[in-house]
Amino acid sequence: PPVSSSLQQVYEPPAYSDDEYASLDWDNLEFGLMPTDYMYMMKCSKDENFKQGQLSRFGNIELSPSAGVLNYGQGILEGTKAYRKENGSLLLFRPDQHAIRMKIGAERMCMPSPSIGQFIDAVKQTAFANKRWVPPPGKGSLYMRPLLIGTGPILGLAPATEYTFLVYASPVANYFKGGMAPLNFYIEDEFTRACPGGAGAVKSISNYAPALKALLRAKDRGFSDVLYLDSVNKKFLEEASACNVFILKGNLISTPATNGTILAGITRKSIIDIARDLGYQVKEQAILVDELLDADEVFCTGTAIGVAPVGGVTYQGRRIQFRVDNDSVCQELHTTLVGIQTGLIEDKKGWTVEI
């Protein structure tokens, strides 16, 4: 069982041999929390920078009931994955981009953030210390969840007095049950996700609980997720609760521009580059819901989700279906991205970090 963590105690992870695996049914992994051995933690006070963090056993953390994160939602999450290569080493995917996104988000949420180097080092240490939990090649990945939270006590509305940066990890496979089976989306025309001037572009923890209501309602009706529309006109496409969205029409791939309400996905950005390299025209622009309904293909992207095909959407009682076969553009983008992430396709862009 996980040992309750004491921050005073430093744990040196044992050096696992490359072929040592945790005893898990690797063929039946899902996207769910599977506690692993170690987590990384680092603290600093309000007016300081983060200095030195350490690994500890994975376990509960102690918080004041008046911690800023509990009372006012001052927190940011990230999600990043490590893959195991055939040669036994681990590959991280663009950890620098996650570090930069956390830094930008921290500024918006009035929090100090780890430096890019500290973030990457923490993710590397967490992946390496939990190596036996990284699935065999082709079976999934180790999902790492960096969190930056206001842990200092506060009563009036103000930034917390102390901050904690931590990284924990869990082996995962596909986010949506059914693997690459086409998703079935509901276009949400009551609730919205973000508004101009808000924090929708930031990976703030406070953006996710408000999305549950529409998500659960859609799931109850048999949908995989909802697609949000813009909060002003309710006619432009935004994103789903947990991923960005793309449409394909002919040779043109479009995705909503990051205008302050769209999460700047690292997978989103990577797919834009990959699609351009493969010869597609890609535009980041406002997309009318009518253009979505007229698309040849629809797909969504995210770290947890990867690149996943949307087989159908339902809008105001009307269901529209899209192409999802094995020769689809979505499938081509998926194969290329996963190939780079897992080391099967040469990484010419310097996106992967081998450890």
Name the site residues for ligand COI (rule: CB under 6 A). 79, 242, 302-305
Task: Using CB atoms within 10 Å of the CB of residue 344, give its burial: 0 to 12 exposed, 13 to 18 middle, 19+ buried.
Answer: middle
Distance CA 336, CA 331 (A): 9
Q: Which of 203, 213, 234, 283 is catalytic?
A: 203
Nearest-5° angle of CA 227, CA 273, CA 91? 95
Closest to 239 in 3D by CA, of 253, 220, 221, 225: 225
Q: How far is the CB of 304 from ligand COI (least distance, A)?
A: 3
| Closest CB to ligand COI: residue number | 79
Q: How far is the CB of 281 from ligand COI (least distance, A)?
A: 26
Closest to 267 in 3D by CA, of 209, 180, 333: 333
User: Hey, what amino acid is at 11?
Assistant: Y
Find where tokens 């309904």 sit: 293
Which residue, 242 or 313, is less far from ligand COI as judged by CB?
Answer: 242
Which residue, 295 or 305, is less far from ligand COI as judged by CB?
Answer: 305
Which residue, 13 or 73, is less far from ligand COI as judged by CB?
Answer: 73
Which residue, 174 or 259, is less far from ligand COI as judged by CB?
Answer: 174
Q: How far is the CB of 23 from ligand COI (least distance, A)?
A: 26
Distance CA 285, CA 112 (A): 32
Q: How far is the CB of 263 from ligand COI (least distance, A)?
A: 9
Distance CA 336, CA 330 (A): 10
Going by C-beta distance under 8 Å and a sequence separation of 6 or more, which residues neighbour residue 330?
248, 297, 299, 307, 308, 309, 324
First-to-last CA distance in the chain? 27
Radius of gyration of the chain (CA): 20
Distance CA 272, CA 285 (A): 12
Which residue, 145 or 323, is less far from ligand COI as judged by CB?
Answer: 145
203 is catalytic: yes
Which residue, 261 or 303, is less far from ligand COI as judged by CB?
Answer: 303
Q: How far is the CB of 207 from ligand COI (least distance, A)?
A: 9
- Across 230-317, the runs of DSSP E, i.e. the strands, are 237-240, 244-249, 252-255, 281-284, 297-302, 306-315
Distance CA 237, CA 242 (A): 14
Distance CA 104, CA 208 (A): 18
Q: How far is the CB of 178 from ligand COI (least distance, A)?
A: 17
Q: How far is the CB of 21 from ligand COI (least distance, A)?
A: 24
Which residue, 242 or 295, is less far from ligand COI as judged by CB?
Answer: 242
The catalytic residue positions are 203
